[in-house]
Structure 1
Amino acid sequence: MLIEAALEEFLEHGYGSASLDRVVKRARVSKTTLYSRYASKEELFRAIVYQQINRINPASLLQVDSRSFSLEEGLKSYANTMLELNLKGEMLGVNRLINSESGRFPELGTAAAERTQLGIDRISRFIADCAKSDGIPCRAPDSVARAFILMIRGWY
């Protein structure tokens, strides 16, 4: 309940204006409980963001081992799923927090980028597998996958 309460606080007020007093009130715990688990506001923020980053594994959203999708169908499915997950609810807010606070917490931006790279790697393998099975040459599936992800994310 503590993490959920803190997430709500950070999403509503941003990192700078978030109040640990409001967090403990929402979570119905004492400050002693909060500080026994998280030594500081920074540590709590990091824990929340890492939890949210790890909730979605972009690499698992595209099944490359089974050719149940054509190249076009697979890429459309992946794009639609990623957009649906990232453009609504908590994940949209968390993405905004990561972007706004990555200067103060560069490791959070790095963690998000590493998660994105998992998706790029999976898409690259999917593209290469589709090209191979269809007898179509594909010189740089990793570059195609990166461009695909950038298109989904809006080139940022």
Structure 2
Amino acid sequence: MNFEPKKLIERLRSQLNRQGLPNLSGWLIAQVHGDYNPVGDHYQIHLHVLSVGNVGIAIEGLRGIAPYRPGEVKRPILRRAATNLMSRVPYYVAQPFWPMRISLPGGKRTSRRRLPPDRLADWLMWIDEQRFSDLIWLHGCSIQAGKLVAKHA
């Protein structure tokens, strides 16, 4: 696993800034995540993003640029309403594990399963080398005393 998560977050930050993010109210959290696919022995790296307020406008603006256009990747931007923030925030942006998912013909995937022991060991060694700030981006918010706090302009 020679992937550098900071580069993925920096690319997203640059793309959102070009979509006007600095001028929008609200906040967002982006976290690096991945699924392991034993078919091909690779990780599908992606970002989980939770946005609140008008920053979603910048995210929606990404739909028109590569690689977020339909057809470039299967589900480049999947929009969901967060109905229960107490459970959704940890689920979308603080998952403490990466699962195994097998890609099947026709684009279907199996349910999430535990990583095989050898890949779990690889992942644990890789994640231990990462800094928290390289795995997560907080825009318009911060963590204070273990709580997520929105910054006020």
Q: TM-score range by the shorter chain?
A: under 0.3
TM-score by length of 2: 0.26
Considering fraction of residues, name the structure with more strand: 2
Higher relative contact order (CA 8 A, sep 6+): 2
Larger-Rg structure: 1
TM-score by length of 1: 0.25
Considering fraction of residues, name the structure with more helix: 1
